[in-house]
Amino acid sequence: MDDFSKTVIGAVDKIKDSVIKIEVYNSKGAKNQPVGTGSGFVFSSDGFAFTNSHVVQGATDMKVTLMGGEQVAAEIIGQDPESDLAIIKISPSKFSVSKLGESSNLQIGQLVIAIGNPLGFQHSVTTGVISGLGRTMRTQSGMLIDNVIQTDASLNPGNSGGPLANSDGDVIGVNTAIIQGAQGLSLSIDINKAKSIAHQLINNGKVFRARLGFMLQEIELNKKIKSHYGLKNKKGLFIVKIEDNSPGSRSQINEGDVIVEFNNKPINSLFDIFKELSQESILTMVDIAIIRHTDKHIFGIFPERNAA
């Protein structure tokens, strides 16, 4: 057997038993009507599992099928539609737990493996490579999702909520969407952000976040710019678009600027700024440092509570 096949098989063996099939029902009169299926994966010994918010949205009942075919009950612990993440908890049973990895050191071109239940075909495996990192993208439904991992691993309806794993079988992302009409363009939510959101959902049942109104993309900083201004970060956040009627639109910041510092801290990634915007204390004027062409500017900006 070739080395590539051995790598994929080894990784799948480590994670497949934690992957679950989720069947969602909605009460209509005296009957529960099936409204859809999706995927998920168990990440804790007490039965907490990741899936997508759009998978369980509006569910009045759920059935979860484990790898061995056993069906168990589950409840929704909390969901965050803005990141399209939800946490469910399955009833006590014999299940396996996935190992959550680290997404800060991912590289474009890296092998990835997606597992899920596309179109009802349980525990299907596809492979691909990472095509892009650190992006904010708008899905078909109009939802703006940041900390996105872009891959060419094939996803189909039913894959939503399943794990994206690396060659070691560690989960590095939660599969969330495909872009209709595009070829080989699938999106997964960065596992570092997913872990942070899971912590808030399990402890508070909701996620706090402030908003700036920026569509962002991570980029490498010019070495001369870094040296000239003594910047400690390797990357910055390129402002692709500024939404109307947002804190960004009311500031002096322009599309095309590159964020290098926020709240007096270096910004290397979308996760860095997500962490800052996850604190209620951020709802005041803060400094934001940007590079515009070759000049560095520091402006004030007022993050606002996200109403989503």
Q: Do domains 111-204 and 210-305 have the same CATH topology?
A: no
Q: What is the third-level CATH fold of 210-305?
A: Pdz3 Domain (2.30.42)
Three-state DSSP at 194 gives helix
Three-state DSSP at 200 gives helix
| pLDDT of 143 | 62
Cα-trace Rg, the chain: 20
Closest C-alpha among 51, 42, 35 to residue 19? 42
| pLDDT of 60 | 85
| pLDDT of 127 | 96
pTM of the prediction?
A: 0.86
Q: Is 302 exposed, middle or buried (0-12, 13-18, 19+ CB in 10 A)?
A: middle
CA distances from 80 to 51, 83, 127, 151, 152 (A): 11, 6, 27, 23, 25
The CATH architecture to which 3-90 belongs is Beta Barrel (2.40)
| pLDDT of 139 | 57
The residue extents of the domains of the chain are: 3-90, 111-204, 210-305
Decide which of 3.90.700.10, 2.40.10.10, 2.60.120.10, 2.60.40.10 is the CATH code for 111-204: 2.40.10.10
Please list the rounded mean pLDDT of every run of 10 residues in the chain (308 residues): 93 95 84 85 96 89 89 93 92 89 94 87 89 77 77 86 97 84 80 94 91 92 94 93 95 97 94 91 96 96 85
Active site residues: 54, 84, 160
| pLDDT of 7 | 95
C-alpha–C-alpha distance, residues 262 and 268, integer Å: 10
| pLDDT of 142 | 63
| pLDDT of 20 | 95
| pLDDT of 39 | 95
81-114: buried (b, 16+ CB within 10 Å) or exposed (e) per residue?
Answer: ebbbbbbbbbeeeebbbbebbebeebeeebbbbb
Strand partners, 109: none
